[in-house]
């Protein structure tokens, strides 16, 4: 795997040295906070007692350079919790994404920490992780959304078919070293059946049981309606995570500013059990969004109201 990493790094650097074009840079921030009431407590997915909580605030730096037929880009994103509520490894380690990427007619290849093929295709792409609050639509704690020190590849769109894959290096881990992933591999296939229906299938594999996940999903999008359904299995291990997860998600765009969302999930062994979320959001301005959500699972009920401010 060290050879793959070295070859990839050398190829990207060689491409960058061939063309002298000004590098474009951009820094953005997204401040997302919510007041969570109800049964908030430390064992809940919303992570903490009732009160103000972070909802994935971040600061992101992007740089890119056009090399003619290819594009070299770099992203470094940090978690930024203005409430100080997220006392966990994700927040303590700081890094959200960190990768260098080369893209062109061949697709895109990157190295570092990026969103996983499984997450992009199943959990988000054909799933319910589309709410504004912290964990309110995730409902799949046994699955990993990102890995570090990984080579990622996404193919170009081939008549509606797209393939994404990732291969971990010797240093690949979950949450920056919390758990080392040996021989970690992922592959995801998505297919746009027609103008409104798409389907996806993905799997992960590796040396440990917790690396072995499978998932399928289907999505329907037409006009103001989005409907997603997915089914996932994980061998994470332990009563908290292992088992099967099913999610149904619906979204209705009232207009270009106001959106209604709902999801219901079933978990045969997951520690949150069966769950559901209801939510509404309103884009008050180009940079300000307000939202209200009600999340419920076996640990309790969590109503919340929140604010998101995007700064470009």
| CA proximity to 312, closest of 24, 25, 26 | 26
Q: Which residues contact 288 (CB under 8 A, 6 or more apart)?
A: 307, 308, 309, 310
Per-state percent for the chain, helix, strand, coil, to nearest 5: 10, 55, 35
| φ, ψ dihedrals at 12, nearest 5° | -65, -45
User: Residue 80 — very low, low, confident or very high, per pLDDT cuts 50/70/90?
Assistant: confident
| CA proximity to 71, closest of 98, 107, 115, 96 | 107
% of the chain with per-residue pLDDT over 90: 58
> What is the rounded average pLDDT of the residues 87-106?
78
**Structure-token pair, residue 40:** 């908030």
Give the pLDDT score at 137. 83
Give the pLDDT score at 89. 47
Give the pLDDT score at 172. 87
Q: Over the Cα atoms of the chain, what is R_g?
A: 20
% of the chain with per-residue pLDDT over 70: 82
In the CATH scheme, what is the code of domain 2-311? 2.40.160.10
| Range with the poorest average pLDDT among 36-45, 124-133, 158-167, 262-271 | 36-45
Give the pLDDT score at 50. 81
Helices (H), ranges, 116-275? 117-118
CA distance 245 to 142: 9
- Average pLDDT along the chain: 86
DSSP label at 155? Answer: P
> What is the rounded average pLDDT of the residues 138-149?
82
| φ, ψ dihedrals at 38, nearest 5° | 70, -130
| φ, ψ dihedrals at 68, nearest 5° | 90, -100
Assess whether pLDDT exceeds 60 at residue 65.
yes
Instruction: Answer yes or no: are the C-beta atoms of 168 and 150 closer than 8 Å.
Output: yes
User: Residue 128 — very low, low, confident or very high, per pLDDT cuts 50/70/90?
Assistant: very high
Helices (H), ranges, 18-105? 89-93
Residues 50, 311, 117, 167: is their CA dihedral positive or negative? negative
> What is the rounded average pLDDT of the residues 91-102?
81
Assess whether pLDDT exceeds 50 at residue 113.
yes
Q: What is the pTM of this model?
A: 0.88
CA atoms within 13 A on the CB side of 52: 9
* pLDDT tens-digit readout, 199-256: 999 999 998 888 889 999 999 999 999 999 999 998 765 555 667 889 999 999 999 9
The most confident of the ranges 9-18, 88-97, 243-252 is 243-252
Assess whether pLDDT exceeds 80 at residue 148.
yes
């Amino acid at each position: 795997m060290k050879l793959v990493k070295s070859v990839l790094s050398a190829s990207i650097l060689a491409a960058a040295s061939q063309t002298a074009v000004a590098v474009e840079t951009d820094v953005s921030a997204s401040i997302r906070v919510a007041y969570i009431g109800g049964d908030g407590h430390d064992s809940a997915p919303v992570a903490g007692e009732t009160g103000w909580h972070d909802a994935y605030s971040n600061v992101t730096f992007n740089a890119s350079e056009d090399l003619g037929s290819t594009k070299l880009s770099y992203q470094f994103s940090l978690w930024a919790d203005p409430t100080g509520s997220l006392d966990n490894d994700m927040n303590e380690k700081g890094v959200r994404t960190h990768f260098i990427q080369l893209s062109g007619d061949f697709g895109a290849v990157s190295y570092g920490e990026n969103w996983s093929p499984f997450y992009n295709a199943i959990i988000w792409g054909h799933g319910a992780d589309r709410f504004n609050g912290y964990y309110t639509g995730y409902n799949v704690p046994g699955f990993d959304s990102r890995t570090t020190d990984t080579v990622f590849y996404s193919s170009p769109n081939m008549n509606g078919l797209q393939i994404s894959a990732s291969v971990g290096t010797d240093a690949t881990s979950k949450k920056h070293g919390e758990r080392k992933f040996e021989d970690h591999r992922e592959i995801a296939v998505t297919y746009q059946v027609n103008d409104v229906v798409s389907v996806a299938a993905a799997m992960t594999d590796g040396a440990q049981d917790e690396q072995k996940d499978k998932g399928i999903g289907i999505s329907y999008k037409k006009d103001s309606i989005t409907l997603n359904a997915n089914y996932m299995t994980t061998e994470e291990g332990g009563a908290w995570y292992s088992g099967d997860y099913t999610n149904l998600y619906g979204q209705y765009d009232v207009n270009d500013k106001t959106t209604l969302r709902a999801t219901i999930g079933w978990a045969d062994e997951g520690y949150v059990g069966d769950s559901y979320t209801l939510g509404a959001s309103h884009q008050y301005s180009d940079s300000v969004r307000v939202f209200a959500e009600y999340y419920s699972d076996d640990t309790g009920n969590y109503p919340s109201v929140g604010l998101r401010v995007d700064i470009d």
